[in-house]
Amino acid sequence: MQTALVILAAGMGSRMKSSKPKVLHEVAGLPLVGHAMRSGAALSPARTVVVTGHGAEAVEAVVAGLDPSAVCVRQTEQLGTGHAVDQARDALDGFEGQVIVLYGDTPFISPETLARMSDSDADVTVLGFETADPEKYGRLVVEGDALMRIVEAKDASPDELEIRLCNSGVISADCATLFNLLSNVGNDNASGEYYLTDVVGLATSKGMSAKVVTCLEEETMGINSRVQLAEAEAVFQRNARVTAMTNGVTLAEPASVYFSHDTAIAADAWVGPNVVFGPGVTVDAGAEIRAFCHLEGCHVGPDAQIGPFARLRPGADLAAKARIGNFVEIKNATIAEGAKVNHLSYVGDASVGEAANIGAGTITCNYDGVMKHRTEIGARSFVGSNTLLVAPVKMGDESMTASGTVVTKDVPDGALAIGRVEAQNKPGFARKLMQILRAKKMKRDS
Ligand code: UD1
Ligand code: CA
């Protein structure tokens, strides 16, 4: 059976105290709404509908970037979760199959949980969880295996408030059934809202079946404040560290390593303390990322060594056994197998050939103030310390530069480029100069 997702993302999130819509705040570098879309994507949905409201334009732009096939519909007034889902009615016109409703501010519903929801044979299925602190949640009223109705905390009787089985907000039902039921949802309740949760009672009163699928409370964690955002980040990072280690990655000090939602690290990679992975990083087997490195949008080949204190920016692509040392920045550059950039260098918009050695303090001058230009460094070449490569420029294979050279023209294969002022020695001058300077200081201080 086909599945369609409806993701509710219209809420304002006033407790975030932000000019940015709540669902665009990020956990592990991915907006909250993206986490919900990612969970749902595990069901290979035939359609994804995101209901936007507050900050609709910004949310719609992000959703389109994440999944161009997703459809956004606007809920101009937030009249309740039932009203929000109803906005997806037209977008799901003609769809036959199951609809699963997710919240855009609830990032951790697992694909396994959604698969269990989707396997349910009931007419309406609700994702529930047990909690010690059910305060504000809707309560699930069950009789045996059957879910009878959901009562919101505000509308609940003292007896109902004792129930610890709560509504996560995730609901699934056959599409036609869901929208038929929604047509009958009213707003005669303590909040004056159209409650999505009312579809359960309406279904059972019509003789349809409703069931609860349960999950851990942690999965249903919703984000309403910056404090909860930080808690969610912590949960994500804790899980990502465990996953990495379970997959065979050594983390020397797990608590200090930060992953992105999409970090991919192969088994037998080694990661030292205080390493931060931004979005879009892949690391191959046997690579070693030493302490205090920052990586984003880059690839680290097998058995490569990075750091300590290295920065790999987007487009850095390191082949096998490449070495990037301390205080080196690599941006939009390929570093071929066995090449070394070991100390204090900037290599940007460049290619560095196989087994080339880039000396300390080398800079590719890639930017002329208006445009970026490329530098090519040939295989097995040797770049002397403190070389400036003024791009566009090319060094041939097995070429060299003398230390301190400013390279402004291409260097042929096998050639040495040298461009610097020749040093001269002045015998005895150093001692004489010191005497003069000390005498001056004495005079000044007396
Ligand atoms: C809802 C459930 C409650 C459940 C709880 C779990 C209802 C009536 N209640 O309550 O049973 O325990 O979630 O967190 O469904 N939204 C819209 N448009 C609206 C209203 C809400 O898009 O008009 C979105 C919000 O942005 C949010 C989600 O729907 O992402 C839930 O809305 P919220 O107002 O937080 O519902 P709760 O009162 O927490
Ligand atoms: Ca809520």
In sign, the C-alpha dihedral spanning 132, 138, 140, 141 is positive
State the virtual CA torsion across 368, 369, 373, 375 in degrees, nearest 10: 50
Q: Compute, in angstroms, the gap from residue 188 CA to the centroid of ligand 1.
A: 17
Q: Is 150 a domain residue?
A: yes
Residues 60 and 174 in one domain: yes
Q: Is 405 a domain residue?
A: yes
Give the per-residue pLDDT at 1: 87
Domain CATH number, residue 242:
2.160.10.10
Residues 190 and 243 in one domain: no
pLDDT (tens digit, 9 = 90+) per residue, 106-131?
Answer: 999 999 999 999 999 999 999 999 99
In sign, the C-alpha dihedral spanning 176, 181, 182, 184 is positive
Give the per-residue pLDDT at 145: 94
pLDDT (tens digit, 9 = 90+) per residue, 372-426?
Answer: 999 999 999 999 999 999 999 999 999 999 999 999 999 999 999 999 999 999 9
Q: How confident is the model at residue 227 (pLDDT cuts 50, 70, 90)?
A: very high
8 Å CB contact between 43 and 5: yes
Nearest Cα residue to atom 37 of ligand 1: 137
Residues 237 and 365 in one domain: yes
Task: Answer yes or no: 343 catalytic.
Answer: yes
Residues 144 and 285 in one domain: no
Task: Report the atom number in ligand 1 closest to the C-alpha of 167.
Answer: 12
Distances (CA, A) of 100 to 72, 146, 177, 370: 16, 19, 12, 50
Prediction pTM value: 0.93
Q: Compute, in angstroms, the gap from residue 168 CA to the centroid of ligand 1.
A: 9
Give the per-residue pLDDT at 421: 92
> Ligand 1 pocket test: which of 81, 136, 193 has the largest number of ligand atoms within 8 Å of its C-beta?
81
CA-wise closest residue to 375 among 334, 337, 416 = 334
Q: Compute, in angstroms, the gap from residue 96 CA to the centroid of ligand 1.
A: 25
Give the per-residue pLDDT at 161: 97
Q: Is 427 a domain residue?
A: no
Task: Report the atom number in ligand 1 closest to the C-alpha of 103.
Answer: 30
In single-letter form, the type of residue at position 261 comes to H
Q: Compute, in angstroms, the gap from residue 261 CA to the centroid of ligand 1.
A: 25
Residues 21 and 114 in one domain: yes
Residues 265 and 389 in one domain: yes
Q: Is 438 a domain residue?
A: no
pLDDT (tens digit, 9 = 90+) per residue, 5-35?
Answer: 999 999 989 999 999 999 999 999 999 999 9
Nearest Cα residue to atom 26 of ligand 1: 11
Residues 197 and 250 in one domain: no
Q: Compute, in angstroms, the gap from residue 145 CA to the centroid of ligand 1.
A: 25
8 Å CB contact between 276 and 291: no
Among all bound ligands, the one having the nearest atom to the CA of 11 is 1
Nearest Cα residue to atom 28 of ligand 1: 103
Among all bound ligands, the one having the nearest atom to the CA of 75 is 1
Q: Is 444 a domain residue?
A: no
Q: Compute, in angstroms, the gap from residue 222 CA to the centroid of ligand 2.
A: 7
- Beta-bridge partner residues of 127: 213
Residues 213 and 238 in one domain: no
> Helix, strand, or coil here: 6?
strand
Give the per-residue pLDDT at 248: 98
8 Å CB contact between 122 and 211: yes
CA distance 25 to 14: 13
**Measuring from each residue's beta carbon to the nearest atom of ligand 1, which residues come in under 6 Å?**
8, 10-11, 51, 53, 75, 78-81, 83-84, 103-105, 137-138, 150, 152, 166-169, 195-197, 222
Tokens of 100: 């699963």
- Containing domain of residue 127, as a range? 3-220
Question: Is 62 a residue whose pLDDT tops 90?
Answer: yes
> Ligand 1 pocket test: which of 103, 187, 189, 225 has the largest number of ligand atoms within 8 Å of its C-beta?
103
Give the per-residue pLDDT at 173: 98
Q: Is 431 a domain residue?
A: no
| Final residue of a structural domain among 220, 252, 275 | 220
Active site residue: 54, 294, 343, 373, which one? 343
pLDDT (tens digit, 9 = 90+) per residue, 148-198?
Answer: 999 999 999 999 999 999 999 999 999 999 999 999 999 999 999 999 999
Residues 199 and 244 in one domain: no
8 Å CB contact between 189 and 103: no
Q: Compute, in angstroms, the gap from residue 14 CA to the centroid of ligand 2.
A: 12
CA-wise closest residue to 264 among 235, 248, 256 = 248
Tokens of 397: 């294979």
Tokens of 418: 């040298």
Give the per-residue pLDDT at 393: 98
Nearest Cα residue to atom 22 of ligand 1: 10
Element (H, E) at 166: strand 165-174
**Residue with tokens 């994507």, as numbered in its chain:** 41
Task: Report the atom number in ligand 1 closest to the C-alpha of 11.
Answer: 26
Residues 166 and 266 in one domain: no
CA-wise closest residue to 318 among 291, 292, 289, 343 = 289
Quote the crossing angle between the two packed helices 198-205 and 175-183, to the nearest 10°: 100
Q: What is the mean pLDDT of the chain?
A: 98
Q: Is 77 a domain residue?
A: yes
Give the per-residue pLDDT at 72: 98
Q: Which residues contact 47 (CB under 8 A, 6 or more apart)?
A: 4, 5, 71, 91, 92, 95
Residues 211 and 296 in one domain: no
Residues 25 and 163 in one domain: yes
8 Å CB contact between 297 and 313: yes
Q: Is 44 left (phi over 0), alpha (psi -120 to 50) or beta?
A: left
Q: How confident is the model at residue 238 (pLDDT cuts 50, 70, 90)?
A: very high
Nearest Cα residue to atom 39 of ligand 1: 137
| Final residue of a structural domain among 193, 220, 247 | 220
Strands (E), 188-345: 210-214, 250-251, 264-265, 270-271, 276-277, 282-283, 288-289, 294-295, 299-300, 305-306, 310-312, 316-318, 323-326, 328-335, 340-343
pLDDT (tens digit, 9 = 90+) per residue, 63-92?
Answer: 999 999 999 999 999 999 999 999 999 999
Q: Is 122 a domain residue?
A: yes
8 Å CB contact between 152 and 191: yes
CA-wise closest residue to 99 among 192, 202, 13, 199 = 199
| Final residue of a structural domain among 220, 246, 265 | 220
Q: Tally the domains of the chain.
A: 2
Domain CATH number, residue 63:
3.90.550.10
